[in-house]
């Protein structure tokens, strides 16, 4: 995914406003002007939202290193899962013999896609739990 800069949005907005000005000076009214005005409004909204988003984003760094602080609800994991993580992930699949009866009934009532998503969540949780911890 590419990132659009404030400068690029501003340039596109300026070009759009030039088209509107040209249409007005030539007395052109109709779909070109309406589309240009709509586009202008969209661009201005994009600029406002981008500015708001960038104000809320701060790269928080530790005082003793350049490592980013890990936000609540996030954990660091290795790029390549460890053997423990993989085994725990595979073993996390629901099993009628070992799962709580109500949980198994809820799982059994799910569609195939819902079951796959549920298994993926269980696998992910088991792998995260088995990930090596920093000391």
Distances (CA, A) of 31 to 28, 34, 43, 73: 9, 5, 18, 49
The whole-model pTM stands at 0.44
Spans of all domains in the chain: 6-56, 83-130
pLDDT digits (tens, 9 = 90+) for 71-81: 888 888 888 88
What is the biggest distance separating any 2 CA atoms in the chain, rounded to whole angstroms? 79
Phi, psi of 132 (to 5 degrees): -60, 140
| Confidence category of residue 32, pLDDT binned at 50, 70, 90 | low
Phi, psi of 85 (to 5 degrees): -60, -45
Task: Specify the pLDDT at position 67.
Answer: 64
Of 15 and 111, more confident: 111
pLDDT digits (tens, 9 = 90+) for 69-108: 778 888 888 888 888 888 888 888 777 776 778 888 888 8
Record the tokens describing residue 24, joined without a space: 């007005």
Distance CA 46, CA 118 (A): 36
Return the bridge partners of 68, or none.
61
Whether the per-residue pLDDT at 27 is higher than 80: the answer is no
* CA end-to-end span of the chain: 35
Cβ-contact 33, 39 below 8 angstroms: no
Return the bridge partners of 61, or none.
68
């Amino acid at each position: 995914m590419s990132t659009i800069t404030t400068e690029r949005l501003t340039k596109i907005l300026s070009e759009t406003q030039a088209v509107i000005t040209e249409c007005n000076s030539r007395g052109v009214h109709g779909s070109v002007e309406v589309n240009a005005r709509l586009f202008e409004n969209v661009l201005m909204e994009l600029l406002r939202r981008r500015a708001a988003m960038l104000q809320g984003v701060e790269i928080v760094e530790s005082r003793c290193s350049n490592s980013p602080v890990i936000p609540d609800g996030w954990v660091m994991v290795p790029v390549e899962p460890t053997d423990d993580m993989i085994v725990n992930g595979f073993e996390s699949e629901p099993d009628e013999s070992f799962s709580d009866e109500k949980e198994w009934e809820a799982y059994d009532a799910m569609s195939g896609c819902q079951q796959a998503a549920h298994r993926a969540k269980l696998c992910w949780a088991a792998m995260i739990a088995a990930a090596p911890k920093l000391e």
